[in-house]
Amino acid sequence: MLTAFMNSPLGPVRITGDEQGVAAISCVVVTLPDPIPDVPEPLQAAVRQLTEYFAGTRQTFDFALNPSGTVFQQKVWQALLDVPFGTTLSYLALTRRIGDEKAIRAVAAANGKNPLWIVVPCHRIIGSNGSLTGYAGGLWRKQWLLTHEGVRPGANQGQLSLF
């Protein structure tokens, strides 16, 4: 596996992958060297596109993904890819999209195991009441990402809405 690091408004980011695609993107608690080492060629598109996302000039990603996970996790992560930039979806609605409303806890667990931070947008999944429940990177990061995408708390019972 190849590794690249980049700075972001939410802290240092580690990207791992190979010629088959990006396997993981995560915030890390490390001090990055100055200067940051060169990015391996198979990870350059991911670094470029994440930089564009943080700059506000990109809403979708098109580099190759290659995350490891169970068949069920892969199904959930695939469904997350269908949640557009600037929108949110409840855990229950996501569960309905994958066809098993009773699997809400398993869907939430798979969401929490998502290895591709931002690109597979688990931050767009919220509680049915509009609350920002659960986020492996910390709720402050989830709030930042949603605000960055133009989603803000609405005036109606904490529901999220577009600006």
Cite the active site residues: 122
Evaluate the omega torsion of the peptide bond into residue 35 and state whether it is cis, within 30 degrees of 0.
Answer: yes
Is 39 in contact with 57 (CB distance < 8 Å)? no
What long-range pairs does 50-54 form, CB within 8 A, spacing at least 24? 50/6, 50/8, 50/13, 50/15, 50/25, 50/118, 50/119, 51/6, 53/118, 54/8, 54/9, 54/148
> What distance, in Å, lies between the first and last C-alpha atoms of the chain?
40
In the block, tokens 């890390």 appear at: 28
27 DSSP β-pair partners: 13
CA nearest neighbour of 93 among 126, 119, 62 = 126
